[in-house]
Chain A
């Protein structure tokens, strides 16, 4: 498909985002690109590096704010590749007229996550643009750290019959944002925005650990599609096994969203040798943020390149990458 204009759908994390990425990468010669397109790249074997921009509306949401998100997002990209987040650089683009108090508040949130994880802020940049050129505030962070695992983790290690685990219940960030945008206020609904390193670090010594991914834009469903398509293996999920809080489900029921595609900001999908699945589950559940960790499915040689979901009533269906923005339904 020839792409003429960037639309909001290209930012949704699904199929259209992949198209956009291809357009960008296509102009770089192969030798100037890393071969594995994971969220964090490993350079010089040992060093993990990632970059991410954050623009969220509203900037304060139940369970967090854009400052916290900007550190967690990049730090989590490292954590899921077995890289300890150590250094971060940050670029702030603010709209003319933005309140300094508000900015300070977000920086305090960012700083508290850095302190919690022992991350050093090592470089930064600020830009102010005329009113109307950005909406409020954009924050870009680039996180760097050293790989802790003996060999790199990655989806290329996934084997048929591997077990797939999620570290907590899915969709809380997307549901919290959706709920605030559309004036729904379910009780107890908070974003899962949190640093993953403390929960994931103890897993890194497990031999059978294959790969991990944080389920941000596009949610768990998109990560599973990327694994299935990337490895040309099948993934089968059990709807019954996927932890979804009732508050998230109720937002989805009202707006017509599928929780599989809602963004998470503190939830990792983990692929592991089945012999170590219990170990992973038990270690995760020792962390208060991962009480809902569950086995949700497995890798298979059947239906290669596709993700299947066994539904609660025993049916089977395909889980495909989402296309475009998720918009609330009418009826």
Chain B
């Protein structure tokens, strides 16, 4: 497939070192092999938002055979944050002397009435941080303020939050607390695979989460539910190889868990990080946006750390307001529909005017569909995508 004929000098390299997982001349062979081995329509779910973005950014969709569809799963921490969880953060922010610190995209996620970024533009103290430790140092440097860290993310960010809570206790910092919205990946996957309406023929499992969890946490998907699984890294070639692996498993009648990311994932995971989580958190039931309450899928602080629990400190209870009318985020996160099928997509809901978090997060599938498909206009979109656009 040749789209542009550019002279070879166009390919002048800069100083980048050759990385075999980036510019791969084998991509074409892998794609050909996928095409040769696929014998029936297959749908794979990439669980992780970073995979979703990498798939779009590298144009993988434009290379895959028509019979192969990719859907995005619930692996973007921003997208799965419940509206009530945002409302709660905003309620706390509105109290006197409060600073809320959180990660990037959380700022723009709409709650029922407002978003953190709107409140920030009205003068409230919202800080953007890239680590829990940064939030703690804000507390240390501003002893007159109550600093609340809005802790989101899966098994990847929970260990750092745990370490920060331990540090806060050691340093005796009393103006710091966390709103723990951390979530666990395996329970939500188990809920998805039990859903009789979901037709997923394979999972591309998240690389970063697997670095922490290792292999065993996912084995049930292949063993109990007979769905092939491949743990993948984030370079385009990593993802292509994972897709090929899943296609080959189908061709061979297999359903096993393969790790295609051994350069980062050890079978036993990261024991240090896991014990850090264990030390500070205990599993609890958690609300997932659009997916409802999932037992034992969240992390709450153990009793001995309850003084760092924002909800207890401010005596606040989480509420669960209904999602905005027409919003299909839950169906998108569960892989029931693609973003193009949401009636609000690219109409009322755009990155400029997001209705749901899937359109806000840089790793959300709605924002990826919008950005890399120009709101459904992409001249290279596969015909099967085009026909799925809902009429409304």
Per-position 1/0 for A306-323, Cβ under 8 A of B: 101111111111101001
Q: 22 pairs across A/B with beta carbons < 8 Å?
A: A182-B130, A245-B14, A245-B16, A246-B15, A246-B17, A249-B16, A302-B379, A311-B59, A312-B27, A313-B27, A315-B236, A317-B57, A317-B380, A318-B373, A323-B350, A326-B362, A328-B104, A328-B128, A329-B104, A329-B362, A330-B152, A331-B50
Whether a CB of chain A sits under 8 angstroms from the CB of B237 is yes
Nearest CB in chain A: distance from B54 CB, A = 10
Task: Indicate whether A315 sits within 8 Å of B63 (C-beta atoms), given known contacts A19-B352, A328-B130, A329-B363.
Answer: yes
CB within 8 Å of A: which B1-53 residues: 1, 3-4, 6-7, 9-17, 22-24, 27-28, 31, 48-50, 53
Contact status B103-A328, CB under 8 Å: yes
**Docked pose: A327 CA to B3 CA in angstroms:** 32
Contact status A323-B351, CB under 8 Å: yes
Contact status A329-B59, CB under 8 Å: no
Contact status A327-B4, CB under 8 Å: no
**Docked pose: A143 CA to B128 CA in angstroms:** 35
**Docked pose: A292 CA to B118 CA in angstroms:** 42
Whether a CB of chain A sits under 8 angstroms from the CB of B58 is yes
Contacts of B1 in A (CB 8 A): 314
Contact status A295-B9, CB under 8 Å: yes
Q: Tell me which of A182, A241, A309, A317 has the highest count of chain B C-beta atoms within 10 A of its own C-beta.
A: A317
**Interface residue ranges, A against B (CB under 8 Å):** 1, 5-8, 15-16, 19, 169, 182-183, 236, 238, 240-241, 243-246, 249, 255-256, 258, 281, 292, 294-298, 300, 302-303, 306, 308-318, 320, 323-324, 326-331
Task: Indicate whether A331 sits within 8 Å of B380 (C-beta atoms), given known contacts A245-B15, A246-B17.
Answer: no
Nearest CB in chain B: distance from A173 CB, A = 16
Task: Indicate whether A313 sits within 8 Å of B237 (C-beta atoms), given known contacts A327-B107, A331-B76.
Answer: yes
**Interface residue ranges, B against A (CB under 8 Å):** 1, 3-4, 6-7, 9-17, 22-24, 27-28, 31, 48-50, 53, 56-63, 75-78, 103-108, 117-118, 121, 128, 130, 134, 152-154, 156-157, 206, 208-209, 236-237, 240, 350-353, 362-363, 371-374, 377-380
Nearest CB in chain B: distance from A153 CB, A = 23
Contact status B352-A295, CB under 8 Å: no
4 smallest A-B Cβ distances: which pairs?
Answer: A315-B59, A327-B104, A243-B14, A313-B27
Contacts of A306 in B (CB 8 A): 374, 377, 379
Contact status A311-B236, CB under 8 Å: yes
Nearest CB in chain B: distance from A6 CB, A = 8
Contact status A303-B379, CB under 8 Å: yes
Contacts of A330 in B (CB 8 A): 77-78, 103-106, 152-153, 157, 363
Contacts of B130 in A (CB 8 A): 182-183, 255, 328
**Docked pose: A281 CA to B31 CA in angstroms:** 35
| Beta-carbon nearest neighbor of A260 in chain B | B57
**Docked pose: A56 CA to B323 CA in angstroms:** 38
From the candidates A292, A314, A327, name the one contacting B28 in the complex (CB within 8 A).
Answer: A314
Contact status A309-B59, CB under 8 Å: yes
| Beta-carbon nearest neighbor of A246 in chain B | B16
**Docked pose: A168 CA to B12 CA in angstroms:** 12
Give me 20 other A-B pairs in contact (C-beta within 8 A), A243-B14, A316-B59 excluded.
A19-B352, A182-B130, A241-B11, A241-B12, A246-B17, A311-B58, A312-B23, A315-B63, A318-B373, A320-B372, A323-B351, A323-B352, A328-B104, A329-B104, A330-B152, A330-B153, A330-B363, A331-B48, A331-B50, A331-B76
Nearest CB in chain A: distance from B356 CB, A = 15
Contacts of A298 in B (CB 8 A): 4, 6
Task: Indicate whether A296 sits within 8 Å of B10 (C-beta atoms), given known contacts A238-B4, A316-B59.
Answer: yes
Task: Indicate whether A16 sits within 8 Å of B352 (C-beta atoms), given known contacts A313-B236, A331-B157.
Answer: yes
Contact status B363-A327, CB under 8 Å: no
Contacts of A309 in B (CB 8 A): 59
Contacts of B105 in A (CB 8 A): 327, 329-330
Contacts of B58 in A (CB 8 A): 311-313, 315, 317
**Docked pose: A244 CA to B61 CA in angstroms:** 24
From the candidates B16, B353, B372, name the one contacting A318 in the complex (CB within 8 A).
Answer: B372
Task: Indicate whether A313 sits within 8 Å of B240 (C-beta atoms), given known contacts A330-B152, A331-B76, A331-B208.
Answer: yes
